[in-house]
Amino acid sequence: MNILLLNGPNLNMLGQREPDKYGSQTLQDIVDDLQAQAESSDVTLSHFQSNAEHELIDCIHNAMGNIDAIIINPAAFTHTSVALRDALLSVSIPFIEVHLSNVHGREPFRHHSYFSDVAAGVIVGFGAIGYSLALTAAINLPKSQN
């Protein structure tokens, strides 16, 4: 099974960025933990982070035919990007939306997501562990969709 992890803008700043909201782990720490989990589950995990919407869109397009499930934290694009939503729908790859913080307890503009209604599922508010929960969910997606 091939799983793609995508992280949107400013998540390269994890560790330094508002640690009260996003925790003290860097993105590299999170990816390393997830790689270890993927290896022990016989899953191939690839990762891409970008601050540019078009780069995330191109990565999603390139996933077609190679990737079985996507785990995505669209970050601020969650609340703005019809283009990223359309990219995910265009490749018909099931995806899981992750947020480190509980966006529903924050500013009203973070309450709406352009992704949640078309996601296989959403994991919100558990910090870095959310990525691990998402990987477990992604591995079990074929079962849960039957």
Site for ligand DQA in 13-72 (CB under 6 A): none
CB of 109 to ligand DQA, least distance (A): 8
Closest to ligand DQA by CB, 57 or 75: 75
79 is in an annotated binding site: yes
114 is catalytic: no
Site for ligand DQA in 107-146 (CB under 6 A): 110
**Distance (Å, whole) CA 137 – CA 11:** 22
100 binds ligand DQA (CB under 6 A): yes
Closest to ligand DQA by CB, 74 or 94: 74
Query: Which of the following is catalytic: 54, 61, 99, 112?
Result: 99
22 is catalytic: yes
CB of 76 to ligand DQA, least distance (A): 4
CB of 135 to ligand DQA, least distance (A): 16
CB of 146 to ligand DQA, least distance (A): 30
Residue for token pair 């998402």: 134
DSSP the chain: -EEEEEE-TTGGGTTTS-HHHH-S--HHHHHHHHHHHHHHTT-EEEEEE-S-HHHHHHHHHHHTTT-SEEEEE-GGGGGT-HHHHHHHHHHT--EEEEESS-GGGS-GGGS--SSGGGSSEEEESSTTHHHHHHHHHHHTHHHHT-
Contact predicate 2/63, CB 8 Å: no
Which residues would be at the binding site for ligand DQA (CB under 6 A)? 10, 73, 75-76, 78, 99-101, 103, 110
Q: Binding site for substrate, residues?
A: 73, 79, 86, 100-101, 110
